[in-house]
């Protein structure tokens, strides 16, 4: 089993290029793209779970374990996205509280 680092999964480490490297885009644009990608992946996981539930309900699939795995993947990915959103909001609020 290969375990990838965080920067390889969602591109979080790409927002800050190495010194001397020319940035491909602005960090705000990169962050927006990363969040958009995360939302689309979570949406895809939820759609997969819905399809798995439908196939089980119609009798096309007999694998309850596959449905449960798809539902848990969807749930965990949504919880992760919610926590990323919460942390980003907390960081924004902290920056807004700073005195200039």
Per residue in 53-90, pLDDT (tens digit) is 999 999 888 889 999 999 999 999 999 999 999 999 99
Beta-carbon contacts of residue 13 (< 8 Å; ≥ 6 apart): 5, 6, 7
- 């798995």: which residue's tokens? 52
Q: What is the mean pLDDT of residues 5-26?
A: 57
* Contact yes or no for 38/6 (Cβ under 8 A): no
What is the residue extent of each domain of the chain?
Answer: 27-97
**pLDDT confidence bin for 24, thresholds 50/70/90:** low
pLDDT at 26: 83
- Report how far Cα 49 is from the mean position of its chain's Cα atoms: 16
pLDDT at 46: 96
């Amino acid at each position: 089993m290969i375990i990838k680092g965080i920067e390889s999964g969602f591109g979080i480490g790409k927002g800050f290029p190495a010194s001397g490297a020319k940035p491909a885009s602005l960090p705000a644009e990169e962050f927006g793209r990363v969040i958009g990608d995360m939302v689309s992946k979570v949406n895809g996981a939820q759609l997969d779970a819905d399809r798995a539930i439908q196939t089980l309900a119609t009798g096309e699939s007999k694998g309850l374990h596959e449905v449960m795995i798809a539902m848990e993947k969807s749930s965990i990915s949504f919880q992760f996205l919610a926590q990323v959103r919460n942390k980003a909001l907390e960081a924004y609020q902290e920056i807004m509280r700073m005195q200039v």
